[in-house]
Amino acid sequence: MADSAVMGSGSLNSGNRSAASKTSTSPSENYQLARRRTLQVVISSLLTECGFESAEKAAVETLTEMMQSYISEVGRCARANCEHTARSTPTLSDVVITLVEMGFNVDTLPAYAKRSQRMVITAPPVTNASVVPKALMTGQKRTHPPHIPSHFPEFPDPHTYIKTPTFREPVSDYQVVREKAASQRRDVERALTRFMAKTGETQSLFKDDISAFPLIAARPNSIPYLSALLPSELELQMLEETDSSEQDDQTDTENNPNNMIQDDQGADKENAVLPPGGGVPAGKPSEENMIDNPYLRPVKKPKVRRKK
Amino acid sequence: MNRKKDKGFESPRPYKLTHQVVCINNINFQRKSVIGYVELTIFPTVVNLNRIKLNSKQCRIYRVRVNDLEAPFIYNDPTLEVCHHESKQRNLNYFSSAYTAAVSAVDPDAGNGELSIKVPSELWKQGDEMKVLKVYIEFSLDQPKGGLHFVVPDVEGSMAERAAHVFSFGNQNSTRFWFPCVDSYSELCTWKLEFTVDASMVAVSCGDLVETVYTHDMRKKTFHYMLPIPTAAPNISLAVGPFEILVDPYMHEVTHFCLPQLLPLLKHTMSYLHEIFEFYEEILTCRYPYSCFKTVFVDESYVQVSSYASMSIFSTNHLHSGMIIDQTPLSRRFLAQALAQQFFGCFISRMSWSDEWVLKGISGYIYGLYLKKTFGVNEYRHWIKEELDKIVQYELKMGGVLLHPTFSGGKEKDNPTPHLFFSIKHPHTLSWEYYKMFQCKAHLVMRLIENRISMEFMLQVFNKLLSLASTASSQKYQSHMWSQMLVSTSGFLKSISNVSGKDIGPLIKQWVDQSAVVKFFGSFAFNRKRNVLELEIRQDYTSSGTQKYVGPIKVTVQELDGSFNHTLQIEENSLKHDIPCHSKSRRNKKKKIPLMNGEEVDMDLSAMDADSPLLWIRIDPDMSILRKVEFEQADFMWQYQLRYERDVVAQVEAISALEKFPTPASRLALTDILEQDQCFYKVRMQACFCLAKIANSMVSTWTGPPAMKSLFTRMFCCQSCPNIVKTNNFINFQSYFLQKTMPVAIALLRDVQNLCPKEVLHFILDLIKYNDNRKNKFSDNYYRAELIDALTNSLTPAININNEVRTVDNLNTDVRLILEEITRFLNMEKLLPSYRNAITVSCLRAIRMLQRNGHIPSDPILFKSYAQYGHFVDVRIAALEAVVDYTRVDRSSAELQWLLDLVQNDPVHYIKHKILSMLAKNPPFTKAAESSLCNEALVDQLWKLMNSGTAHDWRLRCDVVNLYYALFGLTRPSCLPLPELGLVLNLKEKKAVLNPIIKSDPGPELEEEQHVVIEPALSGVAMAPQSLKRKAETLLCSSPEPGQIMQEEPSAKITVKTREEEDIDMETVHDSQAFIYHHLNMLERPSTPGKEVSSVEHAMLSMPGTPMPLLSKESMSSKHGDHHHHHHHHHHEHKKKKKKHKHKHKHKHKHESKDRDSHAFSNSPASGRSIRSPSLSD
C-alpha cells in the first residue's frame, strides 16, 4: 500500500494537524499539501488497480481521508509502542505489533507488496523542509588536547566561551567626560534661559541692543522667602541620590500632623463634631502622652455662658 | 550715679506696679488693626497719688478707668515732633539736644510717660491705706508703624493660607508702641496675657500657655498665658500666625514655630538647640529660669534675633536645610545669643540704661564661651581679635564708646561724650552702629574682668546673680524684693569683689567709666653687649578715641632657647624697657627650638640676624587691653611668627604685617601656611588675600605662574587633567572654605598693565565651567556665588576713549565672557533659585561693578526692579546697595529721592534701616564737597523725616540723624541761605534763658551751637514770631477737645498774667501765649498743640490744697522758666527793639511758604495722630 516514507510522514503529520488549518504559505503547510496530493495519487492508482475508470472527487477525498487516518493511527500506535519500551525511534517490530493489533494480517503484506500489477509512484518532491538552523560558528572548534581521552565530550562551540570586546576605548577618559558634561550642561542651561528670555519679559543691560544679554525680568514674589530658603526639587533629588543620613526624630513628625489637624478642625467651625474633648490625644500612642506640651493640648470648648 | 545707692533700687515712680493684664481681643490682618485692653495693678508708694504716668505710643486710647471710676487723662508725646514751630535751625546740635530732651520727657526711668492719668479724687482719700489701684485702659492700634509688624502676603486664600502673621518688635524698650505700660526695664511685674486669634492661627507669647479656649462662635480661640516671673514690659512680646509647631525632641518644654512649609528646615535648624541649653545651664550651674522656651521664626523681622521673656523671635531667613554649610554656624550663633540673653537681659533685667553694659557684657561673654566650646579655641580667639579690631577701629574713627555713662544731676554741661553727634543718655538716641559697638565692647570688657579674676570666679558671680534673682522671682510681691532681679553696675562690681576678693576698680575705671581705647607703638633694639632687648613702647593718647594706659602689659619674646613672658609696667614717663635675653646667639648648634606651648620644632634659622637670638616679639598677646598695637619688627621675624607661632591671633597679626614686606621670603611663608592643613582655616583664607597683595606689589619680579594658581590646582583639581577642577565634595569644611576663597583672592592679581592676567580670568571661567555638584552632599550655592565674586574682582576699569557710549559692539572680549556667565547665572536663578538667592546677590554686585568700571552703561533700572518689595531681602539689599552707589557716582537726585521715598514707604523696617545706613556709609555727597544734590529741599526732607517722619521707630530716626550727620555734619547745612546776622545777640540772650528751662543736657552742645549759630543758624527766638502765628492759628482752628475743658480757667488766668507782663511787640494775645508755650515746650515737648499740657501744669499748680511732692520740682522749674523768659524779653526788647522789628518782618515774608509746608507735614499720620488723638475724658 505505502512505503515507509509515507508512514513516517503520516505520523509526523498527526502532531501538526491541528496547527495547520488554513491556507498559508509556511513550509510545513506546503509540505502537508504535497503529502495529501501524494495520498490522492496513491488512492487513484489503487482504484485504477481495482478496475475503476473514474471516481467522483468526493469519493476520492473520503478514501484519502480514511487512508490518512489509517496511516496516522499506525504511526501513532507504533510510536506509543516504542515509547513503552523506552525508546525514541520505532522499529519494525513496533509497526508489526501495531498492525497486528489493528487486526491486519501481516503475513499477507509481503505478497501484496510483490504483486505484479502494482504501480510505482514517484516520491513527492522534497522541499527543503526540515532546515535545522545552523549554529553560528565562531572561530575554530577546538579539538581535545592530547591528555584528554577522545571519548570525552567535545568542547562546546567556541562562541560560548570566546570573549569578544564589544566597545571601543574612549579617546581619553576622564577629561573628555567632564568636558562633555560641562558643555552639555552649559548648552542646556543657555538654551533654556534663552528660551525663557525669549518667551517672557526681559531686562537688558544695554540700551542699543536689547537682545544682547537678555535677562529674565525680575518678578516680585508675594512670599519670597519660600523659594529662597527651601531647597529646590533638583537639590532634594540630588541629596537623596548621594546620601540621606540625616534622620529626624519620628516623634515630632507624628505630633505635628495632629496639631495641624486640630487646627483645621477649629477652622471648620462648630459643626465638626469637635473632637478636642479628647479624641485626638487619646487615640495616639503613648509617646503622645509623654510629650506634654501646651501647644499640643486640645483647644477647650468655651464655658457655657451663665450670665445670660 | 547708681553706684552710690547700692542699697536696693529706688523707683522713680510714686507707685509700684505688681501685675499687668494684657488682653488683645481682636487682631485684624485685613485692616492691620488690634483692639484690646490692659489692666495694671499698682501700689501707691506715696500718700496721695493723684497722677499716674504711663508709656503709650501710637495707641488710640478709648477710656481709662481707675478702680472702675472713669479717669481723665492726657496723651502727649513730644517725640512725635521733636522740634516744633518749623524752626529753621536745621543743625544737628540743636536737633540732638531737643530730641534728647523729648525722649527724657517721656522716659519711664525718670518716672515720665506719654500718658498722664489723673486719679479720680474719690480715690485720694484712701491714700493713707495704700490701697491697690487698678488702672484699666482700653486701646486700639490701627496700622501700627512701630511696635507690631504685620506681614500679609498678597496672595489668594484665607489669612492662614497666605501665611499672614504679626509680631512685636522694637529697639530697646518699645513695648509702649503696642500697649500702654510702664515701658521700663526696671519696673517688673507678673503678667497675664490673653490673645484672641483666628482659630487657624497660633498666638505665641511670654510665659506659660495655660489653656486655649474657643470663643462661642468657634471661629476663634483665646490663648491664655501666665508669666509668674516678674518681668519688665520691654521683655513682653507676641507673635501670631499660622505657625507650624515643632516640639523639641530633646526638651519637651521647648517649642519651635515657623511659617507654613518650612517645618523640615525648622527641624534641622533646631536639632542642636539642646546642646546650647545644656552648655549654659552647666557653666552657670543654674537651670533655665523660665518653665518653657519658644522660638518663633518670622518674615520681615526687625533684627536677626530678639529675646523676650521665655521666647525669642528670629528672622525666618536663618532656617536652613542640612545641605547648607555657611548658614549653619551663623544660625547656631544666633540661637546661642538669643539663649544667653534669656538669662541676662530677660530674666535678669537692669536698673537703668547705664547698667545695660553689664547685661550685654555678660550675655556676650557667655556666648563667647559657647563659641569656644563649640567652634574651638582658634575660632574663639580669632573672634575676639576681630571684635577687638572692630571696636578699636570704631573708637579711633568716631571717638570713644562709653559703657557706663554717668549723668550727674541732669542739666550740667558735662556731656560724657561730647565727641558724638548724638546723645548717649538714652538707648533711643543712639546710633545703631554705636550700640553694636557698645555691645562688642561690653563683652570684651567682661573678658578683661575674667582675665583678672579667673573664669571660675566669674561664673560664680553670674551664678550668684542668677540665684539671687531666682529666689526673688519666686516671692510674692514685697517691697524691693524683686529689685534683686535687676542688675546694676555697682551690684555687679560688689559681687565681683565679694566672690573674688580682688579689686578691679582700676580696670572698671579705665574701660567702663571712661571711653576710648589705647594705641601702642612698639619698636625694639637688641643690645648685644648686654644681651638685652631694649623695647620701646609709646602711646598715642591725644588723638580722638584714645586714652592713656598705665599698668601692666605682657610681652612675649620668642628666643632661640624658648619663649619667655615678661610683664612690664607701663608708667607715666617710661618708654623704654630692658628685657634680659636668655639665650646667646648660637645658631650653629642644631637644636630644636621650644615654643610657648611646649612643642619643639626645627627651624631654618638662616634668615635670622646672626647676632640676635630673637625670633619674634609680641606685645599683649592675650589681648588683655583694649588696644591697637603697631609693632615694628623685621620681616623675617614676622615670617617666623607666621610659621611657628601657634596662636592664631599672632598668625593673623603676622599676615597683616607681611603685607608691607613684598619679598620672596614672605611669599614662601604665606604659601607654606596656605598649604598647611593643620593651620586654622581663617588664617589660611587671610593668607590668600595677603599673598595676592604681595604678588601685586612684586609684579615686576614675580616668577612662575600666578600666585596660588598652582596651589589651587594641586589641592582641588584632577591629577590627570589639571585644568579641570574635581567634582565638588565639601565634606571637609576647612578645604571647602579655602576652595571658596582662593579664586576670589586670585582674581585680585594684576599684571604690569594693572589688568587681571588673562590666565587668571580663564582659570576662573574654567572653574565655573567645570563646576560639578552632582555627587556632593552639600549645596554649592555659596561656592558658585564666590566664583562670581571672583569674576567681579577680576574687573578693571575699561579703557574709555573719548567718553563714547558703551555699546554691545565695543565690549571687551574678556568682559563679554564674564557678562555671559553672569547672564546665565542670573537667569538660572529664576528657574532654580539658590539658597538665600546668594547667586543673584553676587550677580547684582557684579553688574554694578561692570557699570562702575565703564564696561556697560551705568543704569539703575535693573537694580530698582530687584529692590522692589517682594524679592528676597538679601537680593533687595544688594540691589539697593547698587542704587546707593549709583546715586553717589552719578549724583542722581532722582535716585536719591527714590531711595528716600522707599525709606518712608517700604513695608519692611529692616530695609528702611539698611537704606539709610548704606547711604550714610556711602554718602552721595559730604560736607566737604560741593554737590548739586545738596539743596534746600533735601535738607527739608531729611529734617522732616528726622523730626517727625520717623517717630514710630527709634532706630530709623537715629539712622536719619546718622545720615544727616554724614551729609551735613553738625552745623547748619551749607546749602541753606544765610540767616540774618542781626539775630546773633538775641541768641545769646535766648541761651541764657533757655538753659534752666531745658532740664536735659544741652550742655556743651548748646554752647557750641552758640558759636556755630553766629555764622549760619537761625535761633529759635528768631523764628518765634511766625511760628507763633501758625501755632495760634492751629489753636484757634482746632475745636477744643473734651480734655481741655477742665483746664479752661487756669489757662485763661495765665493769659491774663502774660498780658500784664508782656508789654511790647507781641501782636496778639495768642501770639504771646504761644510764644511762652514754645519755650515751655522745651520742657515738656508736647506734640498736641501746646495748650493742654502746659496748662495742665498750671492747673495742677493752682489746685488748692493738693500736696504734690513729686510735681513740685517740675512745676517749679517751669515757673522759673517763665520768669526768666519774661525777664529776658524785657531785657532784650529794650535793647534791640528797632532791629528786631525790621528783621522780623522780613522773615515773615520770606518763610511764609515754608510754614505752609510744615503745616501740611504736621498733618501727616505721625504727627497728625497726636493732634487728633482721642484724649477723651468724661
DSSP string, B853-901: TTSS---SHHHHHHTSBTB-HHHHHHHHHHHHHHHHHHT-HHHHHHHHH
Residue carrying C-alpha cell 590646582: B713
The one-letter code for the residue type at B340 is A
The mean per-residue pLDDT over the stretch B1005-1023 comes to 37
Question: pLDDT tens digit string along B80-134?
Answer: 888 886 667 788 888 998 999 999 999 999 899 999 999 988 887 654 556 788 9
CB-nearest to B252 from A203, A267, A292 is A292
CB atoms B865 and A205 under 8 Å = no
CB atoms B163 and A209 under 8 Å = no
Question: Does residue B196 contact residue B176 with C-beta atoms inside 8 Å?
Answer: no
The mean per-residue pLDDT over the stretch B661-670 comes to 94
In angstroms, what is the C-alpha Rg of chain A? 45
Confidence of residue A171 (pLDDT cuts 50, 70, 90): low
CB atoms B872 and A301 under 8 Å = no
What is the Cα–Cα distance from B89 to B973, expressed in whole angstroms? 10
The mean per-residue pLDDT over the stretch B269-277 comes to 94
CB atoms A246 and B322 under 8 Å = yes
Candidates B95, B983, B783, B778; CA nearest to A238 is B778
CA distance A261 to chain B (A): 10
Q: How many CA atoms lie within 13 A of A171 on its CB side?
A: 5
CB atoms B262 and A178 under 8 Å = no
Residue-level pLDDT at B1116: 42
Residue carrying C-alpha cell 487615640: A283
Per-residue pLDDT at B930 exceeds 60: yes
Cell of B260: 507654613
Residue-level pLDDT at B888: 92
CB atoms A175 and B720 under 8 Å = yes
Per-residue pLDDT at B1021 exceeds 80: no
Question: Does residue B145 contact residue B1168 with C-beta atoms inside 8 Å?
Answer: no
CB atoms B827 and A216 under 8 Å = yes
State how far Cα B262 lies from the chain centre: 29
Question: pLDDT tens digit string along B741-771?
Answer: 999 999 999 999 999 999 999 999 999 999 9
Chain B residues with CB inside 8 Å of A206's CB?
806-808, 856-857
CA distance B937 to chain A (A): 32
CB-nearest to A205 from B323, B776, B856 is B856
Nearest CA in chain B to A247: B268
3-state secondary structure of B261: coil
What is the Cα–Cα distance from B1024 to B332, expressed in whole angstroms? 56
The mean per-residue pLDDT over the stretch B892-908 comes to 93
CB atoms A231 and B835 under 8 Å = yes
ipTM exceeds 0.85: no
CA distance B234 to chain A (A): 24
Question: pLDDT tens digit string along B799-821?
Answer: 766 566 677 777 888 999 999 99
Candidates B18, B135, B125; CA nearest to B70 is B135
Confidence of residue B598 (pLDDT cuts 50, 70, 90): confident
CB atoms B200 and A229 under 8 Å = no
A49 touches chain B (CB under 8 A): no
The one-letter code for the residue type at B1036 is L
Per-residue pLDDT at B4 exceeds 60: no
CB neighbours of A268 closer than 8 A, spacing ≥ 6? none
Residue-level pLDDT at A163: 76
Mutate to test the interface with A, among B193, B226, B247, B291 (most CBs of A within 10 A): B247
Question: pLDDT tens digit string along B671-725?
Answer: 999 999 899 999 999 999 999 999 999 998 888 888 899 999 999 998 888 889 9
Nearest CA in chain B to A264: B200
Interface of A with B in 249-278 (CB under 8 A): 249, 251-252, 255-256, 259-260, 263-264, 266-267, 269-270, 274
Residue-level pLDDT at B605: 83
The one-letter code for the residue type at B361 is G
Mutate to test the interface with B, among A205, A270, A271 (most CBs of B within 10 A): A205
Question: Does residue B146 contact residue B80 with C-beta atoms inside 8 Å?
Answer: no
A293 touches chain B (CB under 8 A): yes
The mean per-residue pLDDT over the stretch B145-158 comes to 92
Cell of B635: 620681616
CB atoms B252 and A293 under 8 Å = yes
Neighbours of B25 (CB within 10 A): 17
Per-residue pLDDT at B982 exceeds 80: no
Burial level of B160, CB count in 10 A (0-12/13-18/19+)? buried
What is the Cα–Cα distance from B1074 to B797, expressed in whole angstroms? 61
Please give the DSSP secondary-structure letter assigned to residue B517.
B
Residue carrying C-alpha cell 533700572: B861
Question: Does residue B430 contact residue B421 with C-beta atoms inside 8 Å?
Answer: no
CA distance A28 to chain B (A): 59
> In terms of pLDDT, which residue wins out, B354 or B1067?
B354
CB atoms A266 and B772 under 8 Å = no
The mean per-residue pLDDT over the stretch B587-609 comes to 80
Residue-level pLDDT at B528: 86
CB atoms A297 and B211 under 8 Å = yes
CB-nearest to A242 from B210, B317, B777 is B777
> In terms of pLDDT, which residue wins out, A233 or A259?
A233
Please give the DSSP secondary-structure letter assigned to residue A302.
P
Chain B residues with CB inside 8 Å of A211's CB?
none
CA distance B842 to chain A (A): 14
Residue-level pLDDT at B1011: 38
Phi, psi for A141 (deg, rounded to 5) = -70, 135
Residue-level pLDDT at B978: 67
What is the Cα–Cα distance from B1043 to B1178, expressed in whole angstroms? 8
Please state, for a pLDDT cut of 90, what percent of chain B lies above it.
61
Residue-level pLDDT at B1037: 39
What is the Cα–Cα distance from B1036 to A81, expressed in whole angstroms? 136
CB atoms B805 and A208 under 8 Å = yes
Cell of B987: 541768641
Nearest CA in chain A to B270: A248
Per-residue pLDDT at B609 exceeds 90: no
Please state, for a pLDDT cut of 70, what percent of chain B lies above it.
79
Q: Give the predicted TM-score (pTM) of the model.
A: 0.75
CB atoms B828 and A189 under 8 Å = yes
What is the Cα–Cα distance from B93 to B1010, expressed in whole angstroms? 10
> What's the whole-number average pLDDT of chain B?
82
Mutate to test the interface with A, among B822, B872, B876, B886 (most CBs of A within 10 A): B872
What is the Cα–Cα distance from B95 to B101, expressed in whole angstroms? 10
The one-letter code for the residue type at B4 is K
Nearest CA in chain A to B158: A267
> In terms of pLDDT, which residue wins out, A228 or B11?
A228
Nearest 5°: the CA angle A258, A262, A263 is 120
Residue-level pLDDT at B203: 96
Nearest CA in chain A to B272: A248
> In terms of pLDDT, which residue wins out, A247 or B357?
B357
Per-residue pLDDT at A132 exceeds 70: no
Residue-level pLDDT at B316: 96
A19 touches chain B (CB under 8 A): no
Cell of B160: 492662614
Candidates B403, B356, B391; CA nearest to B507 is B403
Residue-level pLDDT at B575: 80
CB neighbours of B1089 closer than 8 A, spacing ≥ 6? B1031, B1034, B1035, B1038, B1171
Interface of A with B in 193-212 (CB under 8 A): 193, 196-197, 203, 205-209, 212
Interface of A with B in 228-247 (CB under 8 A): 228-232, 234-235, 238-239, 242-243, 246
Per-residue pLDDT at B626 exceeds 90: yes
What is the Cα–Cα distance from B175 to B11, expressed in whole angstroms? 19
Q: Residue B44 pairs with which residues in a beta bridge?
A: B15
CB-nearest to B807 from A206, A270, A300 is A206
Lowest mean pLDDT segment, chosen from A125-129, B147-151, B547-551, B908-912: A125-129
Helices A92-101 & A57-84 angle (0-180, nearest 10): 120
